[in-house]
Amino acid sequence: MSNLESGPETRCGGQVALADPAVSDWLDGRDVPLGPRAMVRRLLPHQFRRMVGAWCFLDQFGPEDLNGSRGMSIGPHPHSGLQTVTWLLAGAVLHRDSLGSEQRIEPYQLNLMTSGAGISHSEESPAQRPPTMHGLQLWVALPEASRAVAPRFDHHAQLPRLAFGAGTRGTGPAQGTLLMGEIAGAVSPALTYSPLIGLDLELAAGASLTLPLQPDFEYAVLATKGEARVQGRALRPDGLLYLGRGRGSISLTAEPASRLFLLGGEPFEEELVMWWNFVARSHEEIVQARQDWADESPRFGEVRGFPGPRLGAPALPTTTLKPRDRHGRTMG
Ligand code: MN
């Protein structure tokens, strides 16, 4: 995914204010254009919550009927200082990148792209595909010690599956697919650079379960389908419930069959500046990254095979960068 927003840079992270203890803050998502017709629901960064652990970006796209449409078509664009995590709930996407990767992704698979200092990629709906597309696009900020690692792309077709609650393994009232991190004895093969978790949960109608959490992680949950309650609080489909940290577990209940996504991690203590598709540490780094992309520098390489032009960066903001802590603005 490419972030088309061209507004002021977002500064986040930092030790000014670490995550709250256990809280329950509802964060409304907002619709953001991703192209001529496509809209996504942006959940992070949010004005009241910039990050959850190292997770610094979260869009939900669809569910959308692609019949009669070209579908997803995001031309080559750069990334820096992050990992992109692509998770599909329905449909198929074809990924190409400057390392020469060409990878189709389908539901229950993970595309994980580690940018290091620079990589570029494109995403498109393949010609042969199911009619509906629905998914999540997330970014994970790379910590200082790892943000210049060699760029790489990993496709995980097999991820750990877990059963929670009563029932035999795989047939309980809730099934988890672990994208990243570890929980309940399962460990994802995906490469991480800071302690974090990403977990998809499918709850049968009426399911009720207790999910183990790490008290030193902060967490947030969203519903991608159905209606569920977290600690008794209803999850609406259009936002994110931030849970803070200091919890050893949470209770989840589903009314109709529901699907949830849990993200969490150790509070990320570095200050970040995010702009367009870059995660950096200063305004100057953003300016340099933008220039390197405009100059077609080898830093970001070249994507081959995408049927269309590369994306140009928006104009830099003229406003002075305002430091913000990792929380975002105070609620209420
Ligand atoms: Mn992207």
Task: Identify the residue whose tokens are 């995906």.
Answer: 190
How close is the Cα of 80 to the center of ligand 1, in Å?
10
How close is the Cα of 171 to the center of ligand 1, in Å?
35
Angle at 80 between CA 181 and CA 18, to 5 degrees: 55
Q: What is the mean pLDDT of residues 217-222?
A: 98
CA distance 303 to 146: 24
How close is the Cα of 221 to the center of ligand 1, in Å?
23
How close is the Cα of 238 to the center of ligand 1, in Å?
22
How close is the Cα of 137 to the center of ligand 1, in Å?
9
pLDDT tens-digit series, residues 283-320:
999 999 999 999 999 999 999 999 999 999 999 988 75
CA dihedral 240, 243, 244, 250 (to 10 degrees): -150
Please spell the DSSP secondary structure of 151-173, one letter per residue.
PEEEEES---EEEESSSSTT-SS
How close is the Cα of 3 to the center of ligand 1, in Å?
7
How close is the Cα of 211 to the center of ligand 1, in Å?
31
How close is the Cα of 125 to the center of ligand 1, in Å?
14
Kindly list the protein residues that place their beta carbon closer than 5 angstroms to ligand 1, a single-atom ion.
Answer: 1
CA distance 311 to 99: 18
**Residue 219: partners with Cβ closer than 8 Å, 6 or more residues away:** 52, 213, 242, 243, 244, 245, 247, 250, 262, 263, 264
How close is the Cα of 124 to the center of ligand 1, in Å?
11
Burial of 298 (0-12, 13-18, 19+ CB in 10 A): exposed
CA distance 325 to 150: 29
Q: What is the mean pLDDT of residues 247-255?
A: 94
How close is the Cα of 99 to the center of ligand 1, in Å?
14
CA 167 vs CA 66, 178, 203, 227: distances in Å = 37, 19, 13, 22
CA atoms lying within 13 Å on the CB side of residue 217: 24
pLDDT tens-digit series, residues 150-209:
999 999 999 999 998 754 444 568 999 999 999 999 999 999 999 999 999 999 999 999
What pLDDT sits at residue 226? 95
pLDDT tens-digit series, residues 37-86:
678 999 999 999 999 999 999 999 999 999 888 899 999 999 999 999 99
CA distance 332 to 215: 26
